[in-house]
A = this chain, B = another copy of it.
Amino acid sequence: MTTSMPAGRDQPPGERGDLLDPRCPTRQLLDRIGTKWTSMTVKVLAEEAPGELRFTELRRGIPGISQKMLSATLQSLVRDGLVARRVEPTVPPAVHYRLTELGLSLETPLSALRVWAETHMPEIDRNNQLAAETSN
């Protein structure tokens, strides 16, 4: 996980201020895409790229998500600069979302992970069933 933290960052002399995993980039990334709806949202937006989707269209594309979670997920993504938000000042307002270049670049490693998952999760499921039986 990037056993980083060697360079720079002179810490207060008497303290070992660099506790445990300070700000490991991989940890931070996993905290984001590990969240329940984030990677799903990125995927749906990626399929539309470079086009946009409106809030309700996104909701339809992500079965099971609540308004609250879609709203929160999108806010995170916008803050991170992975998604761009565009508001048309009509009444009622129309809000459009699209992946930024940064967001789109995440799709590559993410889809690699999806491929691995689709290929190997069945085997993992079998392993778990075997383990469950053996424990009897």
The interface of chain A, by Cβ under 8 A from chain B, is 1-2, 4, 19-21, 25-31, 33-36, 39-40, 43, 63-64, 78-82, 102, 105-106, 108-110, 112-118, 120-124, 127-128, 131
CA distance A121 to B33 in the complex (A): 13
A117 partner residues in chain B, CB cutoff 8 A: 2, 25-26, 28-29
Say whether chain A's binding surface is mostly helix, strand, loop, or mixed: helix
Which of B64, B105, B122, B127 interacts with A20 by CB under 8 Å? B64
Given contacts A21-B63, A113-B26, contact A79 B118 (CB under 8 A): no
> What are 28 sample pairs from A and B whose C-beta atoms fall under 8 A apart?
A1-B40, A2-B118, A20-B63, A25-B121, A26-B39, A26-B114, A26-B117, A26-B118, A27-B40, A28-B117, A28-B121, A29-B116, A29-B121, A30-B39, A30-B113, A33-B34, A79-B131, A81-B124, A102-B120, A102-B123, A102-B124, A105-B116, A105-B120, A106-B120, A108-B112, A108-B116, A109-B109, A109-B115
